[in-house]
Amino acid sequence: MPIAIADMHKPPNTKRYTIGEDDGSNSVERNAYESSYLFSECRPVKELLPLWKRFKKFHKIRTFEEWLLERNKCRKDNYYLGIVLGHDFVEHVHREMCQQFVPKMFDGVYHAGYTLREVRKAIEKHQLIRGGQEMMLLAPRGSFKSTTNKVDCVSWMLNAPDVRILILCGETGLANKFMDDIKGYFHMPERADPTRFQQLFPEYILAERDATDTLPISCAARIIPQGGDPTLWVNSVGSNLSGWHCDILKGDDVVTDENSNTEGTREKVNFKWSGALNLLDEWGFCDNIGTRYFPDDLFGDRIKLATSDDPLPLKLLVRAAWMVKPAFARDPSTGKAYRIEDLKEHMVDLYFPEKLDFKSIHSKLLRNKIQALCQQFNEPAGGDDLLHFDEDELRKAHEQLTAAPINDKRGVRQDIYVAFDHSSGSKSGDYSAGAACVFDKRDDGESVMHVIDVAFGKWKNSELARQIVEMGAKWNPRCILIEDWAESELIKIEIARLAMARGIVLPLLWVKRSMEFNAKKNRISGIEILLTTARIKFVGGWWTDELIKQFTKYTGDRVRRRHDDIPDAIGYLQKFMPETTDTSAYEAMKKAEEERQKTTQFASHVFNNPVWANEQAQKHMTATEEKPLTNSIDEQFFGGQGIY
């Protein structure tokens, strides 16, 4: 007999029946069972049993009933579904995330000849369960929040294969990757074994062509043709969004550092999202997942509406990378709250310690405090107050050259690093600066930067080249970092010529200009953190007064004709802080140097000028029967070679 809705959690004993065969049992009862729709299945039993048998040798689920129960659990529990899909979910983090999404209950909805209207009414009933249409999930970058969003897309398709889902991202590339990842769940390459998920839901496996193309997803398990409407498609929030309506609208990282960096771009994103909401049919749901950047970004705008006098129903979850323990809410010596960069591991409870450990989060704070506050703590730091450097603190941080750890305890020269901030190749000359530093470690294990030399002035390109070579000759650094700019080839050739004339090799590292919003402010804010934590020292010299003047006048606001070259040059030196360098940075340095040599050799051919100093120096030293220089970046940067 057909199974009652109330008893659907108790599947029948199907061993009594052999589908399609007459086993002598009551044919009326058997036929009734074969035509039954169990749990949230949109297909009758007689169509499900062959699906169970299809991959039985892989899943080894002994009975049809157990297989049905496993499918039912995946449909009703997003956390469990994420595990089945192969994700490394952690109970204390991702159970809560998954529960933010619509808890789905489609039991009893499906029957022979069901209609789209019935499906949409079933979707609409879930608004009573969640308490509204809209949900917002703000969690740290790297905490798998987008993964839970993808799992929820799969959950909707499992429960309602006739659903229509629109995904919006801040960039087209992110949107396309989102769809590719979801297609991957349903893609079983030729001669590959089915995944655990595919063993449970074989009717959802996409054909090879559909799984690998760039077109929207049309669910393979769909029952009702929808006149060409796809099951899932993606777009960027800045695109033309007119077109198909949807049952489920999902935003995933709609707000980015680039589309939120001005008041105008933030208003545009908010306007485009409001327009996208018009594509959501009244029975559907909207989920928005991401991280904060500015108080008035899209997330701030929606939260404001949710807390107004006529509040918008919004299910909201906001999580930070760590929470300060109550015992450390305030510094007992000052009575004030600790600065976030001063906190230690024992003072906080980590949100996702299995992946986002204290060391990684703290290093992100030191590299770029504003970005870390946004992406790891969901604090809209884009609207923070301007920077301030105290003159007394700067002067207290000064030391004699003899106090700087240029040599270690054995008298061996330490690695020295140099960085130059320039005027982007101004022919008439503009203010530029260079700085050299060395690092050591305190007793507590924290790294300290010692700025041992500074050069600055209003230099033309030829003078800038000379200053770079002079500082390289003076300190024999492990690396000289210079931000690249358009039309910089001639100054590179001039540097090579001057270095060759002195018979030295310069380990130059030309880096692309950062397109990040407030890149300079972010660099210099790192120096402010180092200063307040006593992790930076300045050797006194003829440049001291100008150094203090530029730091104290710098606030982070965008003011033209302000000299901030010394702070910016020192800001670049943070790239070499020991806790921020690793083998990947080393490999990037090698690759950048190889590209630099190729570019310069081409320029030498075109302009009939000398090739790079290291190649000419090698020929020169060989001719004079001296020790030849090597072109190897490993030995240039990490073998102690530099000046001969």
Q: Tell me the HSE value of 539 on the side-chain side, using a 13 A CA sphere.
A: 20
Contact 222, 162 (CB under 8 A): yes
Q: Tell me the pTM.
A: 0.63
Asked which of 121-130, 403-412, 522-531, 584-593 is least confident by mean pLDDT, the reply is 584-593
Query: Which of the residue ranges 17-26, 163-172, 633-642 would you say has the lowest mean pLDDT?
Result: 633-642
Element containing residue 441 per DSSP (H, E): strand 430-441
- What is residue 525's predicted lDDT score, i.e. its pLDDT? 83
pLDDT in tens, 282-299: 999 999 999 998 888 999
CA 330, 331, 333, 335 torsion: positive or negative? negative
Q: Are 176 and 234 in contact (CB under 8 A)?
A: yes
Q: Residue 260 pLDDT more than 80? A: yes
**146-to-97, 149, 185, 554, 577 alpha-carbon distances in Å:** 10, 5, 15, 38, 31
pLDDT of the residue at 592: 56
Q: Is the pLDDT of residue 68 over 90?
A: yes
| Residue 194 or 444, more confident | 194
Q: Which residue has the tokens 């204290």?
A: 358
**Local confidence band at 431 (pLDDT 50, 70, 90 cut-offs):** confident
Give the residue-averaged pLDDT of 155-175.
94
Alpha helices in 160-252 (DSSP H): 172-185, 196-200, 208-212
Residue 499 exposed, middle or buried by CB count within 10 Å (0-12, 13-18, 19+): buried
Instruction: Give percent of the chain above pLDDT 90.
Output: 54
Q: Exposed, middle or buried, 252 (CB in 10 Å: 0-12/13-18/19+)?
A: buried
Q: Are 164 and 227 in contact (CB under 8 A)?
A: no
CB burial class (10 A; 0-12, 13-18, 19+) of residue 283? middle
Token match 């704070």: residue?
A: 365
Q: Residue 307 half-sphere exposure, CB side, CA atoms within 13 Å?
A: 7
Residue 366 to residue 449: CA distance in whole angstroms:
13
3-state secondary structure of 587: helix
Choice among 450-464, 549-563, 598-612 with the minimum mean pLDDT: 598-612
| Residue 601: predicted pLDDT | 52
Q: Does the pLDDT value for residue 582 go beyond 80?
A: no
pLDDT grade, residue 634 (50/70/90)? very low
The DSSP symbol for 334 reads T
> What is the distance between the alpha carbons of residues 17 and 538, in angstroms, rounded to a whole number?
85
Mean pLDDT of 608-628: 39
Question: What mean pLDDT comes out for the span 383-394?
Answer: 74
- Of the pLDDT bands very low, low, confident and very high (cuts 50, 70, 90), residue 572 is very high
Q: Supply 395's token pair.
A: 């002067």
Q: Which residue spans within 460-549 are E strands per DSSP?
A: 479-483, 508-511, 536-539
Tokens for 232? 């899932």
pLDDT at 7 over 80: no
pLDDT digits (tens, 9 = 90+) for 444-475: 888 999 999 999 998 888 999 999 999 999 99
Cα–Cα distance, 319 to 63 (Å, whole number)? 42
Half-sphere exposure (Cβ direction) of 70: Cα atoms closer than 13 Å: 18
Domains of the chain are: 1-61 (no CATH), 77-318 (3.40.50), 322-383 (no CATH), 396-638 (3.30.420.280)
Integer Cα distance of 585 and 593 in angstroms: 12
CA distance 72 to 76: 6
Rounded Cα gap, residues 398 and 253, in angstroms = 44
CA distance 164 to 233: 8
- Length, in residues, of the chain: 644
Q: Is 45 helix (H, G, I), strand (E, B) or coil?
A: helix
151 with 98: CB under 8 angstroms? yes
Burial class (CB in 10 A: 0-12, 13-18, 19+), 20: exposed
Picking from 116-120, 522-526, 573-577, which range would have the lowest pLDDT averaged per residue? 522-526
Flag whether pLDDT at 537 surpasses 90: yes
Place of tokens 């001969």: 644
Predicted confidence (pLDDT) per residue in 15-33, tens digit: 444 444 445 555 677 778 8
Among 35-39, 241-245, 374-378, the least confident range? 241-245
**pLDDT for the residue 388:** 78
Kindly give the pairing relationship between strand 246-252 and strand 430-441: unpaired
With beta carbons less than 8 A apart as the criterion, state whether 187 and 154 touch.
no
Mean pLDDT (the chain, rounded): 83
| Cα 15 versus chain centre, distance | 51
According to DSSP, residue 354 is labeled: T
User: What pLDDT sits at residue 621?
Assistant: 35
Rounded CA separation 293/524 (Å): 19
> What's the token pair of residue 41?
């299945």
Query: What pLDDT shows up at residue 93?
Result: 97
Judge contact between 566 and 404, C-beta under 8 A: no
626-633 LR contacts (CB < 8 Å, sep 24+)? 629/505, 631/597, 633/507, 633/589, 633/590, 633/593, 633/594
Contact 465, 450 (CB under 8 A): no
Q: Are 365 and 572 in contact (CB under 8 A)?
A: no
Q: What is the DSSP string of 56-104?
A: HHHH----HHHHHHHHHHHHH-HHHHHHHTT----HHHHHHHHHHSPPP
